[in-house]
Amino acid sequence: MSVKEVEKEIKEEVKQENKKLEKNLKNEENTAIVKKEDETNVIQNFEPVKKEKKSVLSILGILVFIIIAIFIIAFLIFTGYNALNQNMAFGVHIKGIDVSNMSKEEARTAVENYINQSLPQEITLKHGDYQTTISLEQIEASFDIKDAVNKAYSVGRQGNLFQNNFYVLSSMFGDVNIEPTVNLNSEQLTTNLNEISSQLPDKVIESSYYIEDNNLIITTGKEGVVVDIDATIKAIKNGISNLQTINQPIEIVVANKTPTPIDIDKIHTEIYKEPKDAYYTQDPFSVYPSENGLDFNISVEEAKAMIASNSSEEYTIPLKTLYPNVTTNMIGTEAFPDLLAQFSTNYSTRDTDRTTNLRLAANKVNGTVLMPGETFSYNKVVGARTIAAGYKEAPIYVSGQVVDGLGGGICQISSTIYNAVIYANLDIVERTNHQFVPSYVKASRDATVVYGSLDFQFKNNRNYPIKILCTVSGGVATCQIFGLKQDDDYEVEISAYETGRTANSIYSEAYKILKCNGQVVDKVLLSRDTYKRH
């Protein structure tokens, strides 16, 4: 091939390539034009949609505004109603009683009526087979209704506007129940429960002791249970609070307890007592009586050894009395400055055995001091009439006859004291007349005694102690009563006389006549008596 032909062929190929490039460029321009037209069409089509969405949003905004406005109006109306409402909120209950829209007074009355109808007079407590009751009135059981009403009334009134509305709505859709507090007299209830604790069949038995004659008796304890006071009080409050089950027994809460070990040192401290000497003061006049002391008759160490050496249910420790150096009867008559009364009777000195008996009895009584409110017992002071005590056989009355008997004649001393006591205007506690009218006093002015059976007793009803002096000498038995005169003391006379006689009996009576400045102010019957005739 020639060069020209080659050149011509190359030019032809270049020309074909240029045509291809022009065609491709033209196609790309057409594509761009189409895309631009498509974009324009999209923009033109979006404008109506955009306008439609703006319209929907405007409507939604108006609806939201209306809803908010309605809510605000409802809120204001609801708030205003709650603020103006003077009654209970809806849905409020007290002790299960619906008090909705009630006034405080109406609610209080409704709850009180319900509780009063439901509350029994007593509750039952039980422990196993043991049961007992407690009076609700005694323990002052009550419900604090006033406080419960105030709490109920405060529903919807205890916070800000939003909180109050929330509380009211809550009570409307979910009931609110106020439980009144149960009040009790805890001190009285504790006393009752302690008493119940001591009655439980399986109660703990503490070690204890008592004095019998001249011995201290110690008993060992046994393990058991005691009432748990705090827990039982809580259970009782819960039981009372639940009116639906209040008639059912309430379980007593108990706790196991081991008895306290025997403490000899503690027992000795408790029973040991120092003797006290009697003394008196004169300005003002006052008598302080003597007191006997008490102590173990063995050492404390010996007592401890006794307890430790064996395991027993009971131990006995001997005791001894500690006597004072100065007894009350030893106080001189200067402590008793005034003679309040005296009386004398006569006896025959020729009957030496009877005279001996009179002196023994008089010596026992002589010097006796009786404190205010204290009672004198002739048999206790004189003691048993025994040979060992020195008493002799002398005439006495037995079954309507005069026979010899040990201690015969000592009724003359009791009768002499009886008359002196009446003149001192002291209270007669016990007195019995003889079977026959005695020779030394008139009818109804005697006082017979029999050891272990009949006693003569009187009481010091004065504000100051009295001292009794009793002597037997030269055929005269005399009783004198000393003390301290009072401004309200009366002059005393005795009027005794027979009121009748039969073939077998003599009837008599005696009176105590009280005078002030010589004028009778009272006449008191002492006795009406019946005697046998000799």
- Same domain? For 290 and 431 the reply is no
Distance CA 120, CA 137 (A): 10
Question: Within a domain: residue 449?
Answer: yes
- Are 209 and 349 members of one domain? no
What secondary structure, in 3-state letters, does 357-402 show? HHHHHHHHHCCEEECCCCEEEHHHHHCCCCCCCCCCEEEEEECCEE
Tens digits of residue pLDDT in 446-467:
999 988 889 999 999 999 999 9
Q: Is residue 330 part of a domain?
A: no
Position with higher pLDDT, 33 vs 468: 468
Q: Last residue of a domain, which of 209, 232, 256?
A: 256
- 124-138, 251-265, 388-402, 493-507: which has the minimum mean pLDDT? 388-402
Span 186-234, pLDDT tens digits: 999 999 999 999 999 999 999 999 999 899 999 999 999 999 999 999 9
d(CA 163, CA 170): 10
Residue 115: Cβ-neighbour burial (10 angstroms; 0-12, 13-18, 19+): middle
User: What's the angle, vertex CA 217, arms to CA 216 and CA 223, rounded to 5?
Assistant: 140
Domain that holds residue 231: 94-256
Structure tokens at 102: 């009630």
Of residues 525, 528, 490, 493, the one with CA closest to residue 508: 528
In this structure, are 247 and 278 located in the same domain?
no
Least confident stretch, 20-34, 71-85, 285-299? 71-85
CB atoms within 10 A of CB 489: 16
Tell me how many domains the chain contains: 3
Q: Among 478, 476, 485, 533, which residue's Cα sits nearest to residue 506? A: 533
Do 407 and 480 share a structural domain? yes
Question: How does pLDDT run across 384-409, given as a tens digit for each residue?
Answer: 888 888 888 776 654 445 445 566 78
The verdict on residue 45 lying in a domain is no
Residue-wise pLDDT tens digits, 40-81: 554 455 455 455 667 777 777 777 767 776 655 554 454 544
CA distance 303 to 317: 7
Q: Looking at the structure, tell me whether residues 378 and 486 fall in a common domain.
A: yes
102 within some domain: yes
269 and 247 in a single domain? The answer is no
Please name the helix (run of DSSP H) or strand (run of DSSP E) that holds residue 405, with its range, or none.
strand 401-406
Nearest to 179 by CA among 245, 70, 95: 95
Q: Is 231 in the same domain as 287?
A: no
- Lowest mean pLDDT across 30-39, 170-179, 261-270, 432-441: 30-39
Same domain, 247 and 277: no
8 inside domain: no
Does residue 89 fall inside a structural domain?
no
CA angle 233, 234, 236 (to 5 degrees): 65
Which of 256, 290, 307 is the last residue before a domain boundary? Answer: 256
Residue 359 has pLDDT above 60, yes or no: yes
pLDDT digits (tens, 9 = 90+) for 502-529: 999 999 999 999 999 999 999 999 999 9
Residue 132 lies in a domain: yes
Domain identity same for 128 and 218 = yes
Inside any domain, residue 84: no
| Distance between CA atoms of residues 112 and 94, nearest Å | 10
| 297, 417: one domain | no
Asked if residue 340 has pLDDT above 90, the reply is yes
Q: Are residues 312 and 372 located together in one domain of the fold?
A: no
Same-domain check for residues 205 and 223: yes
Identify the pLDDT of residue 84. 45
